[in-house]
Amino acid sequence: MPRRSTAVAVTCLLAASLVGCTPPPTAPPTPTSTAIFASEEEALAAATDVLTRYNAAFDKANSAGAKNWDELEELVTQQHLTELEKPGVINSNGWHTKGVSTFSVVSVASFESGESDSSIALNVCRDVSGVRVLDASGQDVTPINRPDSVPLVVSLVTSDSEPSSLLVAKVDTWLNPASC
């Protein structure tokens, strides 16, 4: 207990310099047995599984011109689906892709587990070296400055309707070039 208190004090001090820091909540602690994920490893495994399907569906959608994102519907939050449907370079130019990508999870950026919801964010390197962008005539128009490995932060949250499953809620570029 004393060790934990010290840790709280130190981290609160760090946080206070950024955003201020309120005292710990007064609600009594809840045993982990009711948490959705018993451990970070378990959440990571579930998140990786979702991300694998997300990645495959993303490749598939882009290979068909990035017009139809229905296959991702069951893997993402409604908000993220809306974000995904905003036209990007491929869709806007009438292009499509060929090939598949892979990804590797570098680290867990954050993990939070409660009894009603949980979230996990992963630092991911998405290897797109096998994906080429083609125009309508089949000519390779892959942007020259596209990296082979795209660093991303993928945030997943538990589904409201089915708390044991995770959904992709957000994908952002991850700035940590040493890792991809």
Partner 1 sequence: MAESRILLGVVSLAVAIQLISGGALEPATAAACDVQDKVSGFCSEGGIDGGDAVIRGDGIVDGGNGGGGGDTDGEDGGRDTDGGNGGGEDVIDTSMRCTSCVEVSDAITLSDLAAFRPLAPSLRMEPDGWMLVGLPANFIVGTRTHVVSGTLFDHAVDVRFTPSSYSWSWGDGTSTRSSVPGATWSSLGLPEFSTTPTSHVFDEKGLYRVSVTVSYTVEFRVATLAWRSIAGTLPGPATVVAAVAGTAKTVLVDRECTRNPSGPGC
Per rule CB under 8 A, is residue 138 in the interface with partner 1? no
Options 36, 51, 57, 84; binder of partner 1; rule CB under 8 A: 84
Q: Which is nearer to partner 1, 30 or 74 (CB)?
A: 30
Residues 41/45/47/48 CA torsion (nearest 10 deg): 130
Task: Give the three-state DSSP class for 116.
Answer: coil
Task: Give the per-residue contact string, 29-68, with partner 1 (x = CB under 8 A; - = no).
Answer: xxxx--x----------------------x---x---x--
Options 42, 44, 60, 83; binder of partner 1; rule CB under 8 A: 83
Nearest to 123 by CA among 111, 114, 140, 131: 111
Per rule CB under 8 A, is residue 96 in the interface with partner 1? no
Per rule CB under 8 A, is residue 147 in the interface with partner 1? yes
Nearest to 47 by CA among 157, 172, 127, 125: 157
Options 48, 93, 102, 159; binder of partner 1; rule CB under 8 A: 93
Q: Compute φ and ψ for 128, nearest 5 degrees.
A: -110, 15
